[in-house]
């Protein structure tokens, strides 16, 4: 466990998906000073994800599986990508942070079985010279 201040102790996890990167901080709710339970880039998670509860359910699914809802205040710094990639990266970050909490690791096998610890490594392919895009070539003429 690491801590920012002497009073606040937290655990963090890093999640990545497509272009988005998320750093997730889990703070025990008893030590948290604010009332917000879920904060993304300094605003409520509902505001950041534009009220789309599909993303919010997806993000909190690791906590729901382990029955830890309401125990932790979650602070997230997320950059890049769209809302879907950000939601996936936050979910991975939460799952990795939960694995750090329980060192003898009762959580890890459960999260692994549910598929929360899988890193989706697909990223955009780079453009190659001589082509218009990564794989798109100009049309060849027959004559």
Tens of pLDDT along 58-111?
999 999 999 888 888 899 999 999 999 999 999 999 999 998 887 666 888 899
* Tokens coding 13: 């996890």
CATH of domain 11-114: 3.30.230.10
Q: Grade residue 13 by pLDDT with cuts at 50, 70 and 90.
A: very high
- Break the chain into its structural domains and give their ranges: 11-114
3-state secondary structure of 21: strand
Tens of pLDDT along 102-133?
766 688 889 999 999 999 888 889 999 999 99
Q: Give pLDDT, residue 68.
A: 87
Q: Grade residue 28 by pLDDT with cuts at 50, 70 and 90.
A: confident
Which range (6-10, 34-38, 56-60, 72-76) has the least confidence? 6-10
Radius of gyration of the chain (CA): 19
Q: What whole-number distance in Å separates Cα of residue 60 and Cα of residue 66?
A: 10
């Amino acid at each position: 466990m690491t801590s920012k201040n002497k009073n606040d102790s937290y655990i963090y996890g890093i999640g990545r998906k497509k272009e988005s990167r998320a750093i997730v901080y889990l703070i025990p709710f008893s030590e948290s000073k604010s009332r917000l339970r879920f904060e993304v880039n300094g605003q409520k998670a509902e505001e950041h994800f534009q009220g789309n509860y599909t993303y919010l359910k997806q993000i909190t699914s690791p906590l729901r599986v382990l029955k830890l809802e309401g125990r932790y205040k979650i602070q997230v710094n997320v950059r890049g990508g769209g809302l879907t990639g950000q939601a996936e990266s936050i979910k991975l970050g939460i799952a990795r942070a939960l694995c750090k909490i329980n060192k003898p690791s009762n959580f890890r096998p459960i999260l692994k079985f549910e598929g929360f610890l899988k890193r989706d490594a697909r990223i955009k392919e780079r453009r190659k010279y001589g082509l218009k895009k990564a794989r798109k070539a100009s049309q060849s003429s027959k004559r």
